[in-house]
């Protein structure tokens, strides 16, 4: 089952099972009658929370709403299929290791044969 991912800074903050996500005609995303919002500022968060509670939706700042794709508040929202392709979802690349001459792959150090089973399969001149 496809889920809607709510992502900030490459981290999935919320996963909403497909049938629970209600995407309104204006693009805003709601779950169980509550809008998904992206707010960093705790003061605005508090104000928005009471606005939601009292259903004063016009008092929620325009840039706090979350819609599919990139949002001005830094939140990205999308279905699994899009999230899989999202650049921020790529696993962190391991820095390519540079080994110099004498590096032994047996003991994983510059042993120059001291370990007795010297494996320098990738000797490069340095
Ligand atoms: Zn060694």
CA of 49 to the centre of ligand 1 (A): 61
- pLDDT confidence tier of residue 126, bands split at 50, 70 and 90: very low
Q: For 54-89, give the DSSP string.
A: TT-GGGS-GGGB--SEE-TTSEEEEEHHHHHH-GGG
Q: Any idea which residue has 């590096």 for tokens?
A: 103
User: For 63-122, what is each residue's pLDDT tens digit?
Assistant: 999 999 999 999 999 999 999 999 888 766 665 566 777 788 888 888 888 888 887 755
Q: How far is the CA of 73 from the centre of ligand 1 (A)?
A: 52
Give yes or no for residue 123 having a pLDDT over 60: no
Considering the chain, what is the average pLDDT of its residues? 88
Ligand 1 midpoint to CA 121 (Å):
12
**Closest to 60 (Cα-Cα) out of 49, 71, 69:** 49
pLDDT at residue number 21? 95
Q: How far is the CA of 94 from the centre of ligand 1 (A)?
A: 23
pLDDT tens digits, residue range 7-43?
A: 999 999 999 999 999 999 999 999 999 999 999 999 9
Q: Can you tell me the distance from the alpha carbon of 23 to that of 68, in angstroms, rounded to the nearest whole number? A: 9
Measured in angstroms, how far is the CA atom of residue 98 from the centroid of ligand 1?
17
| Residue for token pair 């104000």 | 47
Return the number of other C-beta atoms located less than 10 Å from residue 73's C-beta: 18
pTM over 0.75: no
Alpha-carbon gap, residue 21 to 69, rounded angstroms: 15
């Amino acid at each position: 089952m496809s889920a809607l991912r709510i992502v900030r800074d490459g981290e999935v903050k919320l996963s909403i099972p497909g049938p629970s996500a209600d995407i309104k005609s204006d693009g805003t995303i709601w779950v169980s009658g509550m809008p998904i919002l992206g707010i960093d500022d705790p003061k605005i968060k508090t104000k928005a929370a009471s606005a939601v509670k009292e259903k004063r939706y016009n008092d929620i700042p325009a840039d706090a709403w979350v819609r599919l794709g990139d949002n001005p508040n830094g939140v990205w929202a999308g279905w699994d299929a899009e999230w899989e392709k999202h650049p921020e979802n790529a696993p962190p690349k391991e820095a390519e290791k540079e080994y110099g001459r004498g590096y032994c792959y047996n003991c994983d150090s510059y042993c120059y044969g001291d370990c007795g089973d010297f494996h320098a399969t990738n000797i490069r001149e340095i």
